[in-house]
C-alpha cells in the first residue's frame, strides 16, 4: 500500500496526515480489493479539530445568513458537477448499485438546497407592546461547534441531514465518517474546500471509537448528531447528554410491512421487494418483516418469492444489477448465520440466498435475496435487525393483530401498509407506533424538508435531522424583553 493511499484528515483548512497508531483497510465489498487505508485518529486530532472549529465559530457566526448560504449555493453546484464521480465512489466502497448511490446523493443535495432557505427558516418572533412601551423578541443564534458521527450504509448522504443546516445557521462543523466507508467523505471534503468555506468552519476526522469518545467529551463541541446501531446510539446519547451537549441519535430498525388482501399484489410485490432487497437490505428503512393478513398470504408469498429469486445480483457499477453485496465478509457471515437461526426456529427458507456464486465476483461479500416463510413471531429472527437482504413472512388473521404485533416491537423507524382501503390506511396511520409511515410505499424516506422521524429505540432525543427540526437543533433561542418608555421618544 502506497503512502498516498492513506486517507487524510481535514482540520483548520488543511489536509493533515494522522498520527494514528493503527490504519484499517477500506475494502470494495464486491471484489474484496483494498481501496485505501483509513486512520483510527487519536483523541488529540479530534481536539485539534474542535479547537479550530471553536476559533472559526467566532467569525463565522458573524457572517450574515444571506452571505453564509452563498457557500451552500456554490457547494450545490460543485456537488452536481461531481455527482457521478461521488456516486461511483459510494458504490465502490459501500457496494450498493450505482442507481442507489445516485439516489443517495440526490437526497444529500436536496438538503443543501433546503438549507439555502435559512434566512427565512431561522427567523425569530417579535411581539410589540406586551405591556405599554415594552416589546419582546425571540432570536435564534447558533450553538457553536457541532459534529456528526455517521454509519456505513449511506457514506454520502447522512452528514447532509445535519451539516448544511448547522453551517447555514452559523455553526462550525466536524464530520466523523464510518471507518468502513471513508472515501466518499474524503472526496466530498475536497469539494467543500473548493466551495471556499473559511478555515476551521468544516473539519473531517477519520476514526472509530476513540474519535467518537473524544467528540462526546470535548467541551467545545455543543451538539452531536449520531446515526448508527441502537446500542451505540444509546451510548452516544447517554454520554453526550451527561456532558451537557445536545444529542440526536438515530438507531437501528426492524421495519414491518402489512399486506392486506385488497392490496394490488403486483405493485405491492414490486415495492416490497425494492424495500427488502434494495441496498442489499442495509437500509434503516428496509422492510424486514412482511405481515400478510388472511387471504393475502398465498399470493404475496408466491409473488415475493419469485421477485426475490429473479433479482439480478452483482457489482453495483454494472447498470443492469439490481442488488450489490453486503458491506464485508463478517457481515455476510453474520447474515448467513441469522438465516440459519430462522430455519432452526422453524421457518422455511423458501428462497435461500446463502453462498451464491456471482460470476466474476467470487471474492465478494454477497448474499442473494432470501425469503423466510412462517417465521416464529416470538423467535429471535423476528426481533433481530438482520441488515441484509432477508424478508421474514409472518401470517396473521386481522389488521388489528398485525398492528398489535408491530406496536409490541422494540423499534419504531418505519411501518408500511399495502391496501386499497382508505379506512384501513387511516386506521394504520393513526394507530401504528412508528415515526415514518408508508401507505403503498415501501421506503417512506422523508424529503429533506420533513424530519426523519424515528421513534422508540430507533431514535434517542427530541429533534430529528433535516428541515425545521434541524434548524431548531442547530440554534438556541434568545428572548429579549425591551422597555422604551414613550417619554424618551419625545425628543425625536
The residues annotated with a catalytic role in the active site are 284
All residues at 6 or more sequence positions from 338 whose CB lies less than 8 Å from its CB, including other chains:
381, 384, 386, 388, 390
170/446 with CB nearer ligand NAD? 446
Minimum distance of ligand NAD from residue 149's CB (angstroms): 5
Rounded CA gap, 347 and 381, in Å?
Answer: 9
Of 60 and 387, which has the nearer Cβ to ligand NAD? 387
Cell of 327: 458491506
Give the nearest residue (CB) to ligand NAD: 228
Grid coordinates representing 156 are 454520502
Residue pair 392/288 in contact (Cβ under 8 Å)? The answer is yes
Minimum CB separation of residue 82 from ligand NAD in Å reads 23
Residue 237: HSE in the Cβ half-sphere, 13 Å Cα cutoff: 19
Residue whose C-alpha cell is 443517495: 104
Give me the residues that bind ligand NAD (CB under 6 A), please. Answer: 149-154, 176, 178-179, 208-209, 212, 227-229, 232, 235, 250-253, 284, 385, 387, 413, 452, 454, 458
The Cα 158–Cα 105 span in angstroms is 10
Structural Rg of the chain based on CA atoms: 24
CB nearer to ligand NAD: give 196 or 330.
330
Closest to ligand NAD by CB, 149 or 296: 149
State the alpha helices, DSSP H only, in 218-264. 230-242
For residues 209 and 426, which CB has a smaller minimum distance to ligand NAD in the complex? Answer: 209
Q: For residues 25, 30, 32 and 34, what is the CA-based torsion angle, rounded to 10 degrees?
A: -40
Q: How far is the CB of 153 from ligand NAD (least distance, A)?
A: 5
Q: Are strands 390-396 and 287-293 parallel, antiparallel or unpaired?
A: parallel
Taking the complex as a whole, the smallest distance from the CB of residue 282 to ligand NAD amounts, in Å, to 7
The string of DSSP codes covering 134-202 is EEEEEEEEE-SEEEEE--SS-TTTGGGGTHHHHHHTT-EEEEE--TTS-HHHHHHHHHHHHTTPPTTSE
What is the smallest separation between the CB atom of 237 and ligand NAD, expressed in angstroms? 12
Taking the complex as a whole, the smallest distance from the CB of residue 407 to ligand NAD amounts, in Å, to 18
388, with CB counted inside 10 A (0-12, 13-18, 19+), is: buried
Amino acid at each position: 500500500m502506497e503512502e498516498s493511499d492513506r486517507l487524510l484528515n481535514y482540520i483548520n483548512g488543511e489536509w493533515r496526515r494522522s498520527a494514528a497508531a493503527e490504519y484499517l483497510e477500506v475494502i470494495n465489498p464486491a471484489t474484496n480489493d483494498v481501496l485505501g487505508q483509513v486512520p483510527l485518529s487519536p483523541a488529540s486530532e479530534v481536539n485539534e479539530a474542535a479547537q479550530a472549529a471553536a476559533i472559526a465559530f467566532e467569525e463565522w457566526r458573524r457572517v450574515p445568513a444571506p452571505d453564509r448560504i452563498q457557500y451552500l449555493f456554490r457547494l450545490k453546484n460543485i456537488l452536481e458537477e461531481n455527482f457521478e464521480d461521488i456516486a461511483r465512489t459510494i458504490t465502490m466502497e459501500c457496494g450498493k448499485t450505482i442507481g442507489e448511490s445516485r439516489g443517495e446523493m440526490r437526497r444529500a443535495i436536496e438538503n443543501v438546497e433546503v438549507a439555502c432557505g435559512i434566512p427565512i427558516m431561522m427567523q425569530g418572533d417579535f411581539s410589540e407592546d406586551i405591556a405599554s412601551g415594552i416589546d419582546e423578541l425571540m432570536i435564534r443564534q447558533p450553538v457553536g461547534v457541532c459534529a456528526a458521527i455517521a454509519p456505513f450504509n449511506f457514506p454520502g448522504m447522512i452528514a447532509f441531514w445535519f451539516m448544511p443546516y448547522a453551517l447555514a445557521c452559523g455553526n462550525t462543523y466536524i464530520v466523523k465518517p464510518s471507518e468502513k466507508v471513508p472515501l466518499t467523505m474524503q472526496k466530498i471534503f475536497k469539494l467543500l474546500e473548493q466551495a471556499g468555506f473559511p478555515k476551521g468552519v468544516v473539519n473531517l476526522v477519520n476514526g472509530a471509537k476513540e474519535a467518537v469518545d473524544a467528540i462526546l467529551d470535548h467541551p467545545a463541541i455543543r451538539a452531536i448528531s449520531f446515526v448508527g446501531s441502537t446500542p451505540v446510539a444509546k451510548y452516544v446519547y447517554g454520554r453526550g447528554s451527561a456532558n451537557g451537549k445536545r444529542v440526536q441519535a438515530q438507531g437501528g430498525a426492524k421495519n414491518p410491512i402489512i399486506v392486506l388482501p385488497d392490496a394490488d399484489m403486483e405493485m405491492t410485490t414490486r415495492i416490497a421487494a425494492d424495500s427488502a432487497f434494495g441496498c442489499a437490505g442495509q437500509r434503516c428503512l428496509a422492510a424486514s418483516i412482511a405481515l400478510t393478513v388472511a387471504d393475502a398470504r398465498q399470493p404475496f408469498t408466491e409473488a415475493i418469492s419469485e421477485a426475490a429469486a429473479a433479482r439480478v445480483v452483482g457489482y453495483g457499477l454494472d447498470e443492469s444489477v439490481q442488488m450489490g453485496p453486503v458491506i464485508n465478509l463478517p457481515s455476510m457471515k453474520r447474515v448467513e448465520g441469522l438465516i440459519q437461526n430462522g430455519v432452526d426456529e422453524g421457518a422455511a427458507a423458501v428462497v435461500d440466498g446463502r453462498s451464491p456464486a456471482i460470476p466474476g465476483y467470487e471474492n465478494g461479500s454477497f448474499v442473494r435475496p432470501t425469503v423466510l416463510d412462517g417465521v416464529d413471531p416470538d423467535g429471535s429472527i423476528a426481533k433481530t435487525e438482520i441488515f441484509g437482504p432477508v424478508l421474514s413472512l409472518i401470517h396473521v388473521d386481522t389488521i388489528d393483530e398485525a398492528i398489535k404485533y408491530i406496536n409490541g416491537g422494540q423499534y419504531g423507524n418505519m411501518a408500511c401498509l399495502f391496501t386499497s382501503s382508505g379506512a384501513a390506511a387511516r386506521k394504520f396511520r393513526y394507530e401504528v407506533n412508528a415515526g415514518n409511515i408508508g401507505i403503498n410505499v415501501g421506503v417512506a424516506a422523508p424529503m429533506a424538508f420533513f424530519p426523519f422521524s424515528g421513534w422508540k429505540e430507533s431514535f434517542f432525543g427530541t429533534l430529528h435531522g433535516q428541515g425545521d427540526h434541524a434548524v431548531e437543533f442547530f440554534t438556541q433561542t434568545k428572548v429579549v424583553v425591551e422597555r422604551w418608555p414613550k417619554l424618551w421618544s419625545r425628543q425625536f
